[in-house]
Amino acid sequence: MSYEVFARKYRPQTFDDLVGQTHVSRTLKNAVAQNRLAHAYLFVGPRGIGKTSTARILAKALNCVNGPTITPCGVCDNCREIAAGNSLDVIEIDGASNNSVEDVRQLRDNVRYAPAKGRYKIYLIDEVHMLSPAAFNALLKTLEEPPAHVKFIFATTEPQKVLPTILSRCQRFDLHRIPANLIAQHLQFIAGKEKITLEPAAAHAIARGAEGGLRDAESMLDQLVAFCGETIAEADVLNVFGFTSEQTVADLTGHVLRSETAGALELLYQQCESGKDMMRLMSDWIAYLRDLLVFKAKPDALSEDIDPDLHKSLAAHAELITTDRLLELIDQFATAEGRMKWAPNKKLHFEVALIRAIQSLSQATLDEVIENLSALRGGKTVAQKKSAAAVADAKSGAGTAASTALAGVSDPGYNKSARVAEQPSQYNAPEPSSDIDPARVWQEVCAKIPAQKAFLRNSATTAHVLGTEGRNFLLGFAPDQRSMMDILGTQTNRKFLEILLHEIIGKDWTMKLSVKEELPFKQSSPSQTHKSSRAHDFKDDPLIQEAIEMFKAEIKS
């Protein structure tokens, strides 16, 4: 016998064999079992997800010698002929090449003849949207009142091109794209039947590349067997089809979120030198950011589409970026993708988009500027808005540390979004851990803050290091430095500084911020040095200094 490709060899033969279309198979099985059969069905969905296979299974269920039955035997003459596509009673018509009025007239003349062997004469029209409007109109009357022995089954990838008068006469079934995990499981099933060793990572890579189409995945597996033999690794999948590994995309995202321009560009150059398609890499990156956006909204929504390792990466990256910033990134990269389609030098546009994304993450948005200025003025309204947002964030489980710190806020009118725990005015600093010097550690943290985050660096250098208490790193602020504490206490800045503490000390630390009347001796900060002369020299006012840093401004005499 001649070789039969996997897509044909492992075509579903029963309703239970359909992958990822439970809603369709269950409805059709109930209709057959209850003898509630419509005269016309329309199967809708993208390529390679089982539209034609479902139609053939339904035809076998109706014409099997044991039928109508939900479990066609597959061995009788009718079942075998339908599966092979040469049954006299199941007429398969290609809508793209038989789309004229004359073709439909011929069909209309033939429907009155009884079936040759089976119970029903079934017309299966694939790509039915290719029929001309005149052909559709010629089919209307027959479709609405066909003979009792005739069933129509239509399949299409573009239902919007089918006339509404046709749609209203059919029972419509929308077949879904198949989740990647189900495709990977089916590929492992085929590999077991064929005695092929298919690595789980390779199966997931094929499933991601198939984009929800099982036939595409089976064809890719067929090609890989010809290339690799009996053992298929993830690297083979990436090399043959030019895909980018999920870990590479996750690493690239991590570099961008941490403002590591050099690392991001180096990773991009490696992918370019290895011959990866820049358009495909950009598409994979946007898809990852989309997954990250969905993960932030509902972490369990992606359980069927991603593997556990990618789930961990999404959880780590979700803490480094807010939803608003993430939406901006997706918009930027989608715009860059549109430019790359027509650009001869796609790498250039990729580099520009990457650097621009890093710069935009380090820049304060207009909303942040307004909030910070309002906080510097001690505005109650903004504080209350931030408090409500922080409470909602804690209820949704977005930040366990945030909700824990919120429980310690004593002043309801104060800015709760900073996660500040007020303490009594008289404070005795706890003894620091014997193995670290908190003051030196905080100096290193301040030195690691990039120049683009000058606003954060100024606020960090103002803090007084009070010591450590367990895994808590204690920082104090004078009463007139509440605005600096607010800036350090925002969710993004707090998480960024705690990551730096982890890198320096090697443990997971939580910052605790508080306002203290009495503080340990520290070299005079600008706000303390000029406290007595503020009335005479407004230039040294912290509000003015922060506004100058924020807007890159200068004061002219």
Q: 115-133, pLDDT tens digit by residue? A: 988 899 999 999 999 999 9
% helix, strand, coil for the chain, step of 5 = 60, 10, 35
As beta bridge partners, residue 44 has 156, 174
HSE, CB side, 13 Å, CA atoms: give it for residue 548. 12
Question: Per DSSP, what are the bridge partners of residue 476?
Answer: 464, 514
Q: Which amino acid makes up residue 231?
A: T
* pLDDT at residue 96, rounded to an integer: 87
Give the whole-angstrom CA distance, residue 235 versus residue 186.
20
Provide the pLDDT for residue 484.
81
Residue range 139-166: mean pLDDT, rounded: 92
Note if the pTM is more than 0.75: no
189 vs 244, which has greater pLDDT?
189
pLDDT exceeds cutoff 80 at 240: yes
For residue 539, what pLDDT is reported? 60
Residue 60: Cβ-neighbour burial (10 angstroms; 0-12, 13-18, 19+): buried
Whether the per-residue pLDDT at 41 is higher than 90: the answer is: yes
492 contacts 483 by C-beta, under 8 angstroms: no
Between 257-266, 276-285, 399-408, the lowest mean confidence (pLDDT) is in 399-408
Question: Which amino acid, residue 466?
Answer: L
What's the CATH number of domain 246-362, 1.20.272.10, 3.40.50.150, 3.30.830.10, 3.40.640.10?
Answer: 1.20.272.10
pLDDT at 481 (0 to 100): 81
Mean pLDDT of 436-440: 83
Instruction: Report the distance separating Cα 158 and Cα 175, nearest Å.
Output: 12
170-179 per-position pLDDT tens digit: 999 999 999 8
Structure confidence at residue 368 (pLDDT): 67
Average pLDDT of the chain, as a whole number? 80
- Cα torsion angle, 140, 144, 148, 151, sign: positive
β-strands 150-156, 121-126 pairing: parallel
Instruction: Write the class of the CATH domain 380-540.
Output: alpha beta
Identify the H or E element spanning 238.
helix 234-241
Q: What percent of the chain has pLDDT over 70?
A: 79
* Whether pLDDT at 533 is above 50: no
Does residue 398 surpass a pLDDT of 50?
no
- Report the 3 state secondary structure along 455-479: HHHHHHHHCEEEEEECCEEEEEECH
| Tokens 């500040």 found at | 420
- Residue 409 banded pLDDT, cuts 50, 70, 90: very low
* Better-scored residue on pLDDT, 401 or 319: 319
pLDDT band at 504 (very low <50, low <70, confident <90, very high): confident
Which residues in the chain are classed under CATH 1.20.272.10?
246-362
Start and end residues for every CATH 3.40.50.300 domain found in the chain: 6-174
pLDDT of residue 118: 86
Lowest mean pLDDT among 98-102, 470-474, 524-528: 524-528
Residues of the chain with CATH 3.30.300.180: 380-540
What confidence score (pLDDT) does residue 378 get? 57
Nearest to 469, CA basis, from 419, 516, 431: 431
Q: What is the mean predicted confidence (pLDDT) over 455-482? A: 83
Report yes or no: 154 and 123 within 8 Å, Cβ to Cβ: no
Q: What is the mean pLDDT of residues 459-477?
A: 84
Beta bridge mates, 442 = none
Dihedral of CA 277/280/286/288: which sign?
Answer: negative
Choice among 157-166, 260-269, 280-289, 434-443 with the minimum mean pLDDT: 434-443
Q: What's the sign of the alpha-carbon dihedral 60, 156, 40, 110?
A: negative
Tens of pLDDT, residues 47-87: 999 999 999 999 999 999 987 899 999 899 999 999 888 88
More confident position, 393 or 34: 34
More confident of the two residues 388 and 1: 1
59 vs 553, which has greater pLDDT?
59
- 323-327, 328-332, 471-475, 522-526: least confidently modelled range: 522-526
Amino acid sitting at position 321: I
The residue that leads in pLDDT, 394 or 222, is 222
Query: Tell me, what's the pLDDT at 389?
Result: 47
CATH 1.10.8.60, the chain: domain bounds:
180-241
Task: Quote the CATH superfamily of domain 6-174.
Answer: P-loop containing nucleotide triphosphate hydrolases (3.40.50.300)
Tell me if 49 sits within 8 A of 178, measured CB to CB: yes
What is the CATH architecture of 180-241? Answer: Orthogonal Bundle (1.10)
